[in-house]
Every structure is written in C-alpha cells, then in structure tokens.
Amino acid sequence: MNSPLRVVFAGTPEFAVPCLAACAQPGVEIAAVYTQPDRPAGRGRKLTPSPVKQAALERGFRVEQPENFRSAEARAALAGYAPDLLVVVAYGLILSQRVLDIPRFGCWNVHASLLPRWRGAAPIQRAVLAGDAQSGVCLMQMEKGLDTGPVIACSATPLAPDETGGSLHDRLSALGAELLGTELATLARTRLRPASEVQPADGVEYAAKLDKAEAVIRWSDPAVAIERQVRAFDPWPVAEAEIAGERLRIWAAQALPGGGAAAPGSLVAAGRDGLDVATGAGLLRITEVQRAGGRRLPVRDYLNARPELRSAPA
C-alpha cells in the first residue's frame, strides 16, 4: 500500500479555498499550506490573513508565508517538507525553475480559463468582457513561462447571458476544485505522472491585471460592450459613470436597441424599469446603482432621491 502523497498547497484568495479542500482527501497528506503574508485591509488597515490561511488554520494545517522564494533558506524550507507535488492556485508569486524542480512530480496549477486563451492575472473578467461564449478551468503542469505549461485536463462551462465576474468566479472555483480532486486522486493511487498536452501556439490571449481606470464607462462605446463591462467588473472594480450630473457606480445594466439621434451619455428615459442612457450604438438600461458613500440600490429607489430625473423624455 502506498504511503500518502505528500502535497504542499500554495494559494491566497477565496478562489483557491475549494481547491485546498479538494486536496484533503484519502491518500493525500497536506504537508504545508503556503500563502501570501497578511496584508492591511478594511478602513482600519488592519493586518488580515488571506482566505486560504484562514481555511488552512481551521483545518489544522501548517501555514508558511514567505515574501518570496529568492533566498536559499526559503527554498530549503519548502524542500524540507519533501513534497511529492506542489499545487498552486492563485498564489500570487511567480515561481522560479529552482522552486518548480523541488517536488517529485513538479507543480500543478489550476487556471481559470481554457488555455491558451486568457493566460495571466484576470482570466475570469476578461472572458466576460470579451463576450466569450464559454470559459472553464485547466489543470496545468507548471513551467517557467506565464501559464505556458502543458495541460493535464480541462473542464469547460458556457457563460450565461447575465454572467458577472463574480458569478463566473464562483462557478470556476468549484469546477477547478472538482477537476483537481479527480486528478489528484488518480496520482495518489497510481504514482504516475499524468499525460499532458503542449498548449497550441494559436489562440493565445493575455488577461492583463484589472485596473480601476478600466471601470470608467465610455458612452461612445456600443451598449453591448458597456453591458459586458458592467457585468465583468462586478464585484470589482465596479463600472462607473456620470449620469445626469452625478457620478454613480453601475452594478447592473442591459443593452437595448434604440437611442436614435441622442448624444452618447444622454439620459433618454428614467422610470421604474431603469435609467436609459444613449451610447455609441443602442441604449443602456441601468437597473442598479450606487451613489458616493451609499449602498447598492435598484433604480426605482434611487429615483426617490432624484425625482426630477423622472421628467426625462421617453
């Protein structure tokens, strides 16, 4: 009978927590959990542990939080756990070849896209922003390049018409954990390095890190593109725009035909169904907003505070 497969897990945000849980299965021993150092968060800027750290401590796992692996000491500490496998999920550090070579079976990465499309930091939001018909997760054998390693397995899922960055994040997090759990169980049983396929050269797209400046709506863009922007940036950084003289965060919107000769950015109609704003092509019906310092509101409640907008022509 094989001894347990020794796994070191490396991850930081909420997306990685289900994958950590998937590693806690029969035949697998989690030797340690690596995560980013505690960071200031909230209004008080209090040092806050990552979601992965919190989950690891709740399960009684040993936690390591090095700033990086540049020092020989940090690499020696990892090697000291004698890992058969390093599982990396949204860890937040680029690992050198010296780190990747430490585990017996190398390093696996759960990536939230159908590689080679959307390599990089923000694949979930980029898929929604681009209007992709599907997304998914890939389990990849890591190499030094940015998400360039051979793919062990993938699982695809269609994007819903109302898909948001948040909803896709949650579905891919669960899908990634399921895929990882299955492949990890096989490795624990067989102790054979799984087959993998080199990523094709065609179809490579890079998912750049999100920037808050991208959340500012350009009314000259088509309504369909702005709607995708609103959905992609929910829950962060949240689309925003000036409407009828007030800066608002836009949480929900729908592209509609129409607009006529109205200038982009003009408020065409306002009522219980939403705020209809002219764009470069079509109307954007905004249904949920947030004022500065306020909370998310349906437009019908927002209009109670700004009844003068109801006079906007239909």
Binding residues for (6S)-5,6,7,8-tetrahydrofolate, by number, are: 113-116
Torsional sign, CA 43, 46, 49, 55: negative
Q: How far is CA 155 from CA 25, 58, 186, 196, in A?
A: 21, 29, 17, 14
**Residue 108 bridge partners (DSSP):** 87, 141
Q: Return binding residues.
A: 113-116
Give the 3-state secondary structure of residue 278: strand
- Please work out, in degrees rounded to the nearest 5, the angle formed at the alpha carbon of residue 16 by the alpha carbons of 10 and 19: 90
Closest CA to 34 of 90, 98, 97, 105: 90
100: left (phi over 0), alpha (psi -120 to 50) or beta: alpha
Token duo for residue 18 = 């289900």
**Residue 257 bridge partners (DSSP):** none
Examine residue 235 and say whether the peptide bond preceding it is cis (omega within 30 degrees of 0). Answer: yes
Closest CA to 199 of 128, 146, 151: 151
175: left (phi over 0), alpha (psi -120 to 50) or beta: alpha
